[in-house]
Amino acid sequence: MSKSAGSRDSSSSSTKNHADKFLDGLIPSGFNKGSCLSRYESYLYSKVSPYKPSPFLISKLRNYEDLHRRCGPHTRAYKRTMVHLNSFKSKVTTTTTTTTTRSCKYIVWKHVNGLGNRMVSIAATFLYAILTDRVLLVKFQDDMVGLFCEPFLNSSWLLPNGKEFPFSTDDNGKKDFETYDSVMKRDRKNNSKELLLPSVMHLKIEHTDDEHEMFFSCDHNQNLLHKVPILILRSDQYFVPSLFMGPSFGQELRKMFPNKETVFHHLGRYLFFPSNDVWGQIKRFYQAYLAKADEKIGIQSLGGLKPWVLYKLLDNNLPDSPCVQDVSMEPCYHIPPKLDCKEKPIDDDVGKAFPYMRRCVDYGSGVKLVNDLQ
Instruction: State the Cα–Cα distance between residues 57 and 257, nearest whole angstrom.
Output: 7
Q: Cβ(300)–Cβ(337) under 8 Å? A: no
Instruction: State the Cα–Cα distance between residues 54 and 329, nearest whole angstrom.
Output: 18
Q: What is the pLDDT of residues 12-38, one digit of tens each?
A: 444 456 557 889 999 998 899 999 999
Is residue 265 assigned to a domain?
Answer: no
Do 82 and 220 belong together in one domain? yes
Q: What is the pLDDT of residues 73-115, one digit of tens each?
A: 999 999 999 998 887 665 665 545 444 445 899 999 998 889 9
Please count the other Cβ atoms lying within 10 Å of the Cβ belonging to residue 345.
10
φ, ψ at 203 (rounded to 5°): -125, 155
Mean pLDDT for 260-283 is 96
Do 179 and 279 belong together in one domain? no
Instruction: State the Cα–Cα distance between residues 168 and 175, nearest whole angstrom.
Output: 7
Coil vs helix vs strand at 108:
strand
With a cut of 80, say whether residue 171 has pLDDT above it: no
To which H or E segment does residue 197 belong? strand 196-197
Is residue 145 assigned to a domain?
Answer: yes
All residues at 6 or more sequence positions from 151 whose CB lies less than 8 Å from its CB, including other chains: 157, 270, 271, 272, 273
Do 249 and 115 belong together in one domain? yes
Is residue 262 assigned to a domain?
Answer: no
Do 119 and 243 belong together in one domain? yes
Radius of gyration in angstroms for the set of CA atoms belonging to the chain, rounded to a whole number: 22
Q: What is the pLDDT of residue 12?
A: 44
Do 186 and 155 belong together in one domain? yes
Do 134 and 227 belong together in one domain? yes
> Which residue range is the domain that position 190 belongs to?
55-256
Do 59 and 200 belong together in one domain? yes
Do 245 and 328 belong together in one domain? no
Structure-model confidence comparison of residues 339 and 255, the more confident one: 255
Q: What is the pLDDT of residues 320-340, one digit of tens each?
A: 778 888 889 999 999 998 888
Do 151 and 177 belong together in one domain? yes
Number of C-alpha atoms within 13 angstroms, CB side, residue 16?
22
Residue type, 215: F
Query: How many domains does the chain divide into?
Result: 3
Closest among 269, 268, 374, 363 to 328, alpha carbons compared: 374
Do 339 and 285 belong together in one domain? no
Is residue 261 assigned to a domain?
Answer: no
Which domain-ending residue is among 196, 230, 256?
256
Q: What is the pLDDT of residues 210-231, one digit of tens each?
A: 555 678 888 888 988 998 999 9
Q: What is the pLDDT of residue 66?
A: 96
